[in-house]
Structure 1
Amino acid sequence: MVSLPAILTPHAVTVRRLTGEGAHGPVHAGPVTLRRVRVEATTRLVRDRTGAETTSTARLFTRPEHGPVPPGSLVLLDEGTALERWATVISAAHQYTPPAPEHYDHALT
């Protein structure tokens, strides 16, 4: 199994994984930093977990050892800059077609 090479994964993000639903809405786990990921600012039309079309403004690529970040989770983008914001994971897809590197591709709001 081949993972994304380090040269293609220069970023680190803070993630709060969705753990369920509570009386007041979504419940998220504590923040965890994922290192050696790739974030791309790109706009595209995607389908969410209910099948509705929505606009994604960023993509997050993670290595296999990070596992998928479930839809509804929060990802802190551009941490420490004027552009810092929390994005919500719209969808996650496992990508593995040898000899291409194995990874997860996440669409973010």
Structure 2
Amino acid sequence: MRLPRTLFCHRVTVEPYAGDSAYVKTYGPPVTGVRALVDARIRVVRNREGREVTSTVTVYGEPSLAAQCPPESRITLPDGRITTVIAVAPHTAPGLGLPESTEVACE
């Protein structure tokens, strides 16, 4: 069971992190029009190294967003601001009938 699509009232663009080149981070082709719910709330989260960092926005999306958006990806928010993904948390509960979604904490 997934969260109702009507909750995902925003559209964002995701540029998936593809790795580092000799000089800069590289990204895959942008995925535009990704349905999401954008929550601009400041909170503390843990990054991939386990350090506490500040997240200024959280993006909630469909379960498939987890595969499209690894940490360090770039997301363009509806207001045009570009942010970087800190952590991705897929919320699943197979067999329990609970709604599934993906939570993406961004800088």
When the two structures are superposed, what TM-score results if normalisation uses the length of structure 1? 0.87
Larger strand share, 1 or 2: 1
Give the letter for the 2:92 counterpart. Answer: Y
How far residue 9 of structure 1 moved from its aligned partner, in angstroms, is 0.8
Q: Deviations over 1:52-98 (max 9, x none)?
A: 1110011111112334310000000124xxxx211000000110133
Counterparts in 2 of 1:17 and 1:103: CA distance versus 1, 3 Å: same
How far residue 101 of structure 1 moved from its aligned partner, in angstroms, is 1.0
Aligned to 1:11: 10
When the two structures are superposed, what TM-score results if normalisation uses the length of structure 2? 0.88
1:85 maps onto 2:81 in alignment:
yes
How far residue 50 of structure 1 moved from its aligned partner, in angstroms, is 1.0
**Unmatched 5+ stretches in structure 2:** none
Same amino acid, percent of matched pairs: 36
Q: Deviations over 1:31-63 (max 9, x none)?
A: 111432111111100111111111001111111
**Unmatched 5+ stretches in structure 1:** none
State the aligned residue count. 104
1:104 maps onto 2:102 in alignment:
yes
